[in-house]
Amino acid sequence: MRRLIVVVALIGLALTIPAKAQRPKPEVVATIGGDDIYQVLPVGAIPAIDDPSFVSGAAANAQMSPGEPVLGIVLHGEARAYSLWQLDAHEIVNDEIKGTAIAATW
Amino acid sequence: MVYARTLGGKTYTFQVSGKLWRNSLIMQDRETGSSWSHVTGRAIDGKTKGAQLEKLEAVETTWELWYAAHPDTAVLEKSEEVLASHYQEYFDDPKRMGMFRAQWLTEKMSGKTLVYGVAIGPHAVAVTDSAVAGGNLVQVDLGGTPVVVSRAADGGVRAFIEGSDGQKLGSVAVTPVYWFAWSNFYPNTKVVE
């Protein structure tokens, strides 16, 4: 996903703000499959959405740009869209569609 | 990507771990604290290690195309107006990739090329935008399974397993992803340009 590495960009931003001496350094916390795992932010620093609210397409249309990227899913005949601009700040939505628990991720 | 978050009768809730692996998000479940790859849906560490979430058919497209095709859609409510991506500069800059060097990044194409990844077990293909342009159907063999990838009217790229008479036997999840990340997870991936 395009945003896969967006966290990385976010970290990049975070790292450029404080003075150089104060920059937190991403720490290697494990190595799996030959690739390091870096801890770059505290857990939950980017808050997932646990109790999502939804509006109708017509209502959303007033707030959405035509070219705004969305993550869309149709499950059990029900269509849902999540603005990716909005998900930049959350990355994960713990959601449920007609009894199926899903995680919409970006 | 969208995952079913119930596995073996247990429902997990996910949070953002703050960790990166292969330059991509690691999700952490609140129930066991295990680490799950956002790209593959597989638990890579912790109590659930080895468990695999089911990736559901979902698409990335524009609001305009989605709404036109799904006028009855529900939409995640915005608490405030969001007018752009925080990361537009990052998206637009071909030189900016992950924070950490990708182990298997190849020279096949630019790392920032957006591809549509499809995997069945270890067998994977990366399909480029131009390959599915103009309603073109991409047919590919993934470890003996014939798969068709195409872009629908709602702008979403989807894939299905094709039967011997050309019928759809079932959908396969598509992962829209930058090439540098996909090639890190699937170094032996096929490429259809």
Average pLDDT, chain A: 84
What single string gives the DSSP state of each residue in B52-113?
BPPEEP-EEEEHHHHHHH-TT-EEEPPSS---S-TTHHHHH-TT---SS--TT--SSS-TT-
Residue A74 CA to residue A76 CA, distance in Å, equals 7
- Checking DSSP bridges between strand B74-76 and strand A78-83, what pairing results, if any? parallel
Do the chains contact at B5 and A33, CB–CB below 8 Å? no
Whether B56 has its CB under 8 Å from any CB of chain A: the answer is: yes
Residue A103 CA to residue A88 CA, distance in Å, equals 15
pLDDT level of residue A102 (50, 70, 90 thresholds):
very high
The answer for B 15-54 residues in CB contact with A (under 8 A) is: 15-28, 35, 38-39, 44-45, 53
Residue B26 CA to residue B35 CA, distance in Å, equals 6
DSSP code of A5? G
Q: List beta partners, residue B28.
A: B15, B35
Supply the ipTM of this predicted assembly: 0.92
Whether A62 has its CB under 8 Å from any CB of chain B: the answer is: no
Residue B190 CA to residue B183 CA, distance in Å, equals 10
pLDDT level of residue A13 (50, 70, 90 thresholds):
very low
Q: Which residues of A touch B101 (CB under 8 A)?
A: none
**Residue B161 and residue B147 in contact, taking contact as beta carbons nearer than 8 Å:** yes
Q: Report pLDDT for B102.
A: 64
Looking at per-residue confidence, does A63 or B65 come out higher?
A: B65
| C-alpha B129 chain-centroid distance | 14
Q: What pLDDT digit, counting tens, does each position of B77-124 carry? A: 998 778 788 788 888 888 887 767 666 666 788 888 999 999 999 999
Going by C-beta distance under 8 Å and a sequence separation of 6 or more, which residues neighbour residue B163? B169
DSSP code of A54? E
Judged against a pLDDT cut of 80, whether residue A26 lies above it is answered with yes
Residue A42 CA to residue A29 CA, distance in Å, equals 12
The answer for B 147-186 residues in CB contact with A (under 8 A) is: 154, 156, 175-178, 181, 184
Does the pTM exceed 0.95? no
Phi-psi region for residue A7, left (φ > 0), alpha (ψ -120 to 50) or beta?
Answer: alpha
**Domain ranges, ordered by start, for chain B:** 2-56, 63-192
Query: Which secondary-structure segment (H or E) carries B180?
Result: helix B179-185
Of the candidate ranges A79-83, A94-98, B23-27, the one whose mean pLDDT is the lowest:
B23-27
Q: Which residue of A has its CA nearest to B174?
A: A1
Tokens of A61: 């249309």
CA-based nearest residue to B14, from B4, B1, B29, B24: B29
The answer for A 72-91 residues in CB contact with B (under 8 A) is: 72-75, 78-86, 88-91
Q: Report pLDDT for B125.
A: 98
Q: Return per-residue pLDDT of chain B as tens, 193 residues.
A: 999 999 999 999 999 999 999 889 999 999 999 999 999 999 999 999 999 999 999 999 999 999 999 999 999 999 877 878 878 888 888 888 776 766 666 678 888 899 999 999 999 999 999 999 999 999 999 999 999 999 999 999 999 999 999 899 999 999 999 999 999 999 999 999 9
Residue A49 CA to residue B116 CA, distance in Å, equals 26
